[in-house]
Amino acid sequence: MDKFDIHGIGMTSQRTRERLIERLYEEGLSNARVLEAIRRTPRHLFIDEALSHRAYEDTALPIGHNQTISQPYIVARMTEWLLKGGPLDKVLEIGTGCGYQTAILAQVAERVFSVERIQALQDRAKERLAELNLRNIVFRYGDGWEGWNALAPYNGILVTAAAREVPQALLDQLADGGRMLIPVGEGEQQELRLIIRDGDQFQHHVLEAVRFVPLLPGALA
């Protein structure tokens, strides 16, 4: 039985979707579970209809409220790095946005906890992910700088907005042996970091240059 109930997409789009997977593969993404999750996820349902013809391009697109849906390449890359640490029981995502990264995580992790500061975006994401029958996600409206302490620790934390510095709360909420993927920096100067916790030690690895919207302070009233 297919996990998704929604089809409603013609053959042409199916080919476009396959091309995206091929392109990601050529770019060095090789984790079969991640590629399969991307193949199965109808990205056109996460953006405005006016832009849906561009849904399977490997590019970020606007989703309103000055925010974007992440580029498939970076969604795949971050998920792949997270999975390299072993099976993912609990994952914390900061920045639900339209919920596309959340959908990919929900297919490779047992449980996903996702925090967003713009209520309208999160409400819409919730609806979409329920329509897609992804039920292992819990949402929280709040400030990602604070993480979600009540449910910590997490063996994976994935931040989808660029932070000036790594939030201390997120480091504290990472399980021993857990991994965090986080863009750090401002404006055009951002690097994707992988942080691995080993007891009280945190190893930082710089992976690649990235471009995310900023991780803003505080939740919106």
The whole-angstrom separation of Cα 96 and Cα 160 is 8
CB of 99 to ligand SAH, least distance (A): 7
Q: Name which position in 73, 143, 170, 197 contacts ligand SAH (CB under 6 A).
A: 143
Coil, strand or helix at 203: strand
Residue number, 90 or 128, with CB nearest to ligand SAH: 128
Annotate 115-140 with DSSP letters as a single string. EES-HHHHHHHHHHHHHTT--SEEEE
CA-wise closest residue to 39 among 59, 25, 53: 25
Among residues 13, 30, 52, 70, the one annotated as catalytic is 70
Q: Which amino acid is present at 80? A: E
Residue number, 45 or 121, with CB nearest to ligand SAH: 121
Residue number, 198 or 208, with CB nearest to ligand SAH: 208
| Termini Cα distance of the chain | 41
Residue number, 15 or 220, with CB nearest to ligand SAH: 220
- Is residue 63 within 8 Å of residue 98, measured between CB atoms? yes
Query: Which region, judged by CB under 6 A, interacts with ligand SAH, from 30-38, 65-73, 178-186, 196-204?
Result: 65-73
Q: Does 69 bind ligand SAH (CB under 6 A)?
A: yes
CB of 164 to ligand SAH, least distance (A): 11
Residue number, 177 or 212, with CB nearest to ligand SAH: 212
CA-wise closest residue to 139 among 95, 181, 86: 95
- Is residue 44 within 8 Å of residue 32, measured between CB atoms? no
Question: Is 70 assigned a catalytic role?
Answer: yes
The site string for ligand SAH over 79-118 (x = CB under 6 A, - otherwise) reads: ---------------xx-xx-xx-------------xxxx
Q: Which helix (H) or strand (E) holds 181?
A: strand 174-186
Q: Name which position in 41, 67, 79, 107 contacts ligand SAH (CB under 6 A).
A: 67
- Is residue 144 within 8 Å of residue 161, measured between CB atoms? yes
Coil, strand or helix at 5: coil
The site string for ligand SAH over 180-219 (x = CB under 6 A, - otherwise) reads: ---------------------------------x-xx---
- Is residue 143 within 8 Å of residue 60, measured between CB atoms? no
User: Catalytic residue positions?
Assistant: 70
The contact set with ligand SAH (CB under 6 A) reads 67-70, 94-95, 97-98, 100-101, 115-118, 121, 143-145, 160-161, 213, 215-216
